[in-house]
Amino acid sequence: MALSGKQKAAMLFMSLDATTATELLEGMDPEAVEDLAVEVAYMDASGLCDRKKQSTIAREFCNSLKQNQSYGLNIGRFFNEMLINIIGEEKAGKIRSQVQKATLQKDLFASIRSASVDELMLAMDGEHPQTIAAILSELSPKKSQEILSILPEEERAKTVWKMTSPDLLGFSVKQRIATMTTERLKSLKGETLTMKPGRREENLRNLAVVLSGLEKDVRDQLLGEITKQDEDTCTMIKRLMITWEDIDTIADRSLQESLRNVESGTLAIAIYGADEDIIQKIRSNISERAMSILDEEISMMQDPLEREILDAREQVVKPLRDANEEGKLRVEGR
């Protein structure tokens, strides 16, 4: 998207140290300085500015600037030094107050996006799923996914549903949600949740079960957003949607179609030492001829290694996952 002249000016000043910026702005009308300060605050809060863009704008302004120059700047210090030097401390304080108000009006959730997952979880504790959904919809996909994976199962399911079919929220409602959450975050700065070791996969499994129950188009959209942020996490979620332990919840017809793609020798290894419910589920969904071949394979089979059992079970589950990804798998009793 093309940048406006005001945005380019704001980006340029974010690339400079406060002293240099002060020299450039001396003599400017205070209202113009205020407009520029608002634009700087908005671009910083909304994430519209990055080093590459800053470098491009700086080169346009002055070809002598080097591409690898450090353009980082503390925005708070920039305001303090630049505004005070130009228009005095009293007026600078007034402008800072106006900047905060203008930034909030432009982006209600600006400060919320910068909060950590732990802080957001604590701030949203006890809130209605609609409120949580409104907040998550304003966050990056990766951060939303992390929060969803931690939410309690029932609350997560309701929140996901609200995110996929949201009620229309007016500006005043969003403003109340943003204001309430921002105030809570101020009191929670730096606080963290206690996460037990190994909890991440359990949380991702819970999220995977919820996503697998959604319509394919909605599920694919959410998975696509997660992939953009973290492909490995998305791959794990897809794998956890259907596991070996889920076989007894698969509808008979779906299981029959998938088992046709599994060799008898592989199936014999896979059911070695398995729960009786899963063994019976598999046996009841193969033909008499296939069951006879399976029993023959079992009679000739040596005790398999644990790794062989796990590999065989993955091969049994793979066609189920493929069917699930295509939206053709039917699951019952979860």
Query: How does pLDDT run across 239-296, given as a tens digit for each residue?
Result: 899 999 999 999 999 999 999 889 999 999 999 999 999 999 999 999 999 999 999 9
Please check whether residue 159 lies inside any domain of the structure.
yes
Please check whether residue 194 lies inside any domain of the structure.
no
Percent of the chain residues topping a pLDDT of 70:
68
218 with 135, same domain: the answer is no
236 with 256, same domain: the answer is no
Report the range out of 63-72, 120-129, 149-158 with the highest average pLDDT: 120-129
What CATH code is carried by the domain that includes residue 264? 1.10.220.30
Domain total for the chain?
Answer: 4
Strand partners for 250: 331
Q: How far apart are CA 123 and CA 186, in angstroms?
A: 10
103 with 90, same domain: the answer is yes
Least confidently predicted of 54-58, 128-132, 206-210, 288-292: 54-58
Please check whether residue 332 lies inside any domain of the structure.
no
Percent of the chain residues topping a pLDDT of 90:
23
Q: Which pTM does this prediction carry? A: 0.46
Average pLDDT, the chain: 77
Predicted pLDDT of residue 263: 93
Please check whether residue 193 lies inside any domain of the structure.
no
First to last CA, the chain: 46
Q: CB count, 10 Å around CB of 116?
A: 17
For 161, the domain range is 112-187
- 317-332 average pLDDT score: 90
Q: Are 46 and 110 in contact (CB under 8 A)?
A: yes
Predicted pLDDT of residue 47: 64
Kindly list the distances between the CA atom of residue 75 and the CA atoms of 20, 36, 53, 114, 225, in Å, as whole numbers in the listed order: 15, 13, 17, 14, 30
pLDDT digits (tens, 9 = 90+) for 50-94: 666 666 655 555 443 333 344 444 445 555 555 565 556 776 666
Give the pLDDT band (50/70/90) at residue 228: confident
128 with 150, same domain: the answer is yes
- Report whether pLDDT(325) > 70: yes
215 with 144, same domain: the answer is no
Which of residues 66, 86, 107 is at a domain's end?
107
Q: Six-digit token pair at 40?
A: 């700087």
Selection from 71, 79, 147 nearest residue 115 by Cα: 147
